[in-house]
Amino acid sequence: MNTRKLVYLLTTTLIIGALAGAIVGIVLDPSTYFSGGIGNFFFGVLWMLGISAAISLIAQMGHFAYLIFHRLALGVFKSIRLWNKIQVVLIVFVFFDLIYFRYIAFASEDETIFGYMMMPILLMLYCILVAYRKRQETNKEAFVPALFFMFVITIIEWIPALRLETVNDSKWLWIYLAPLLASNTWQLLTMHRLTGVPNHSKVATPKRAD
């Protein structure tokens, strides 16, 4: 990847993350933006774009950190299959923790753990779809690393929001999550196009000699 492609990836990721956060923020809390006139709307959107762009930068750092971590892990375990099995275990562990620890930290006496399962399940389903798309566009061994990046790394980047008691409100959790998901999805599905990684998932059919 040359400098031009790198700048393209960083710039587009920043824009997509900022727009995603702003759109979700307006959709989930329209009264804040439309109740105070055009000036309130303009500065409200500008503020949300800035916050979302900052969150997008976190996603970019997480992406490049995982690329380095992934290469180091492959060097240690010497096998993509073994490393993939370890990543699957970590995915399950993080999925369980996302449900259980949020329930322990924020649940009131009248709440059950089932109410804290919806968000992790929806997030996991989305990440599986993105990872499957990555597998289709590259190769079958890319599914687990893509799922690990989309789910585990996104959760790690999401931790500052999860740790704040004031944002246990699902609205703000989604506002924080939207730029992360949009940025990570774009980075994951764009990286192989910029680096020219070939698609080995399809076996070429030999031509019949006439």
Percent of the chain with pLDDT over 70: 90
Q: Are 178 and 52 in contact (CB under 8 A)?
A: yes
Instruction: Quote the CA–CA distance of 38 and 28 in Å, as a whole number.
Output: 19
Q: Are 127 and 180 in contact (CB under 8 A)?
A: no
* Poorest-pLDDT segment among 51-60, 117-126, 170-179: 170-179
Q: What is the pTM of this model?
A: 0.86
Instruction: Quote the CA–CA distance of 173 and 105 in Å, as a whole number.
Output: 15
Report pLDDT digits (tens) over 150-197.
999 999 999 888 776 555 567 788 889 999 999 999 999 999 898 876
In which band, very low, low, confident or very high, does the pLDDT at 13 lie, cut at 50, 70 and 90?
Answer: very high
Instruction: Quote the CA–CA distance of 158 and 148 in Å, as a whole number.
Output: 14
**The predicted structure's pLDDT at residue 205:** 42
pLDDT at position 52 over 50: yes
pLDDT at position 202 over 60: no
**The predicted structure's pLDDT at residue 200:** 55
Nearest by Cα to 60 from 105, 3, 15, 126: 15
**The predicted structure's pLDDT at residue 18:** 95
Percent of the chain with pLDDT over 90: 53
Instruction: Quote the CA–CA distance of 182 and 207 in Å, as a whole number.
Output: 41
Instruction: Quote the CA–CA distance of 70 and 169 in Å, as a whole number.
Output: 34
Residue with tokens 């439309």: 34
Q: What is the mean pLDDT of the chain?
A: 87
Question: Which of the pair, 206 or 187, is modelled with greater confidence?
Answer: 187
**The predicted structure's pLDDT at residue 165:** 52
Report pLDDT digits (tens) over 18-45.
999 999 999 988 887 888 778 888 888 9
**The predicted structure's pLDDT at residue 36:** 74
Max Cα distance, the chain (Å): 76
Q: Are 183 and 16 in contact (CB under 8 A)?
A: yes
